[in-house]
Chain A
Amino acid sequence: MGLFDKFAPLLKEYEQVTAAGHNPFKVNVGKVVSPTEAVVNGRPTIMAGTNNYLGLTFDPTCIDAAVDALRREGTGTTGSRVANGSYEEHRRLEQELADFFGRRSAMVFSTGHHANLGILSTLAGPHDHLVIDADSHASIYDGCKLSSAQVTRFRHNNPEDLDKRLARLARQPGEKIVVVEGIYSMLGDRAPLKEIVEVAKRHGAYVVVDEAHSLGVLGRHGRGLAEEAEVEDQVDFIVGTFSKSLGAVGGFIVSNHPEFDVLRVACRTYKFTASLPPSVMASVSAALGVLRKKPELRLRLKANSTLLYDGMRRLGYQVGPEVSPVVAVHLPNLEVAVRFWNMLLESGIYVNLAPSHATPNGVSLLRCSVCAAHSREQLERILDVFQAIGTELGLLEEPRLAVAQ
């Protein structure tokens, strides 16, 4: 038995996916032109698979702040905050995040993945229980794996199922921590957070909400699903990322818990990795400012999401259950999805190919993510191309003309 034999099934799927043309997992982005355009394989391409929801990657305020910090404080911190200390940007960004969410404390991590690994593995001890939505992101599963806690899954977005499972766990000792996401990254659906929080609190459980895809997207102030569902005061910990609507990289946790700060010395993904470079934090700080000052970005994102979502439905595609910046187009199988994805790229449109092992219920998806900076023309072009390819591949019953009308 060779060391790599265990990867045989994965390799087989990988070969199936890559044999049809371009490699969906190794797209070479030649030149990035704007938040929504790049040159891919020498061809101008509309980027609709980047999670760059507010389009802030080229925001001049963010770039200026980053450049300024880069010149002032250098390229990196060269170590963790525990060893190398906290820079002004670390403290300022944490204060700004705490203010934005109206919470006592904030902790910044080097990635969103690290934030989830950190909080789940540290908070939950061997006798505690992590109760997670079955469709949770890999970073939540990884956090569970790294923790010594007992891990129970509940059926996706199903508060009654959560209730049943928490009732069973009531017979067991230990704290219960319920983990959900604001917007689920593959299908773009929101958690029924009000109901979930009600169930969790009735059972005396803590609630963690990962707002990775909902920060800057949901809520009147862009604070995410907890704000939209009006349950912020009952959510114990909010986890998030800087790599989507805030256009950079990094992660965070905010909480009102009075003892929250002890995590700084308990949490291994905080202690044992290099902290974010000052330039990244400066751009995130600036992006948070833009998010606060420009609610119109959120409105534009919503309008763009509706245009693409409704357009896909009108064409006859099955999409996710609700309008969201993640528009997940369902394809009948992986082979068709791969072929479709290649044809899109050849037509100058980039979306994510989500093979069945990465999606709920094993469905193959072409996952589009919408940006506030997408123009109407770009979105209509995406719909036109989806119509043309879908017709060519026999996926649409009949050509429809009403796309842009």
Chain B
Amino acid sequence: MSGDDQEILTAIIETLGAVTQNKVPVTASTVLRQDLNLDSLAEMDLLMALEDKFDVSISINHLPEIETVGDLAAMIAKMKEG
């Protein structure tokens, strides 16, 4: 994992901390729906917050491909390159 990727991951974990009130430890392998109990609306709101954080545009059509926090980080890294 590159420094940039680590930075993205840390930022996502930070954002998720606010959503979950830090009740659940979050790592790259945390599954958004299952482990954090995020419903589709919460997932979309998370995506929106991350779009702003990283100044990227991520279509909500990508959500079905995103299972873990790591998937989300990889998606953002790709968008930032992109």
Say whether B75 faces chain A, with CB atoms less than 8 Å apart.
Answer: no
Say whether B31 faces chain A, with CB atoms less than 8 Å apart.
Answer: no
Determine if B60 and A151 form an interchain contact, defined as CB atoms under 8 angstroms apart. yes
Determine if A152 and B55 form an interchain contact, defined as CB atoms under 8 angstroms apart. no
Say whether B41 faces chain A, with CB atoms less than 8 Å apart.
Answer: yes
Residues in chain A near residue B55, CB distance under 8 A: 168
Q: Which of B56, B57, B60 has the most CB of A within 10 A?
A: B57
Determine if B61 and A172 form an interchain contact, defined as CB atoms under 8 angstroms apart. no
Distance, CA A144 to CA B61, complexed state (A)? 9
Determine if A152 and B56 form an interchain contact, defined as CB atoms under 8 angstroms apart. no
- Count of chain B residues with Cβ under 8 Å from any Cβ of A? 13
Which one of B51, B56, B60 lies within 8 Å of A144 (CB-CB)? Answer: B60
Residues in chain B near residue A150, CB distance under 8 A: 57, 59, 61
Residues in chain B near residue A164, CB distance under 8 A: 52
Say whether A155 faces chain B, with CB atoms less than 8 Å apart.
Answer: yes
For A349-363 the 0/1 string (1 means CB < 8 A from B) is 000000001000010
For B9-50 the 0/1 string (1 means CB < 8 A from A) is 000000000000000000000000000000101001100100
Determine if B60 and A134 form an interchain contact, defined as CB atoms under 8 angstroms apart. no
Taking the nearest CB of chain B, how far is it from the CB of A187, in angstroms? 15
Nearest opposing residue in chain A for B55, CB measure: A168
For A158-202 the 0/1 string (1 means CB < 8 A from B) is 000000110011001000000000000000000000000000000
Distance, CA A134 to CA B43, complexed state (A)? 12
Say whether A221 faces chain B, with CB atoms less than 8 Å apart.
Answer: no
Taking the nearest CB of chain A, how far is it from the CB of B66, in angstroms? 14
Taking the nearest CB of chain B, how far is it from the CB of A145, in angstroms? 8
Which one of B39, B56, B61 lies within 8 Å of A357 (CB-CB)? Answer: B39
Residues in chain B near residue A129, CB distance under 8 A: 59
- Say whether, besides A168-B56, A169-B57, A155 and B48 are in contact (CB < 8 Å): yes
Determine if B44 and A172 form an interchain contact, defined as CB atoms under 8 angstroms apart. no
Which one of A153, A165, A169, A357 lies within 8 Å of B60 (CB-CB)? Answer: A153
Nearest opposing residue in chain B for A164, CB measure: B52
Residues in chain B near residue A168, CB distance under 8 A: 51, 55-57
Known: A134-B48, A151-B59, A164-B52. 17 other contacts (CB 8 A): A129-B59, A134-B44, A134-B45, A150-B57, A150-B59, A151-B60, A152-B51, A152-B57, A152-B60, A153-B44, A153-B60, A165-B51, A165-B57, A168-B51, A168-B55, A168-B56, A357-B39
Could you write out 16 A-B pairs with CB less than 8 Å apart? A9-B39, A150-B57, A150-B59, A151-B59, A151-B60, A152-B60, A153-B48, A165-B51, A165-B57, A168-B51, A168-B56, A168-B57, A172-B57, A357-B39, A357-B41, A362-B41
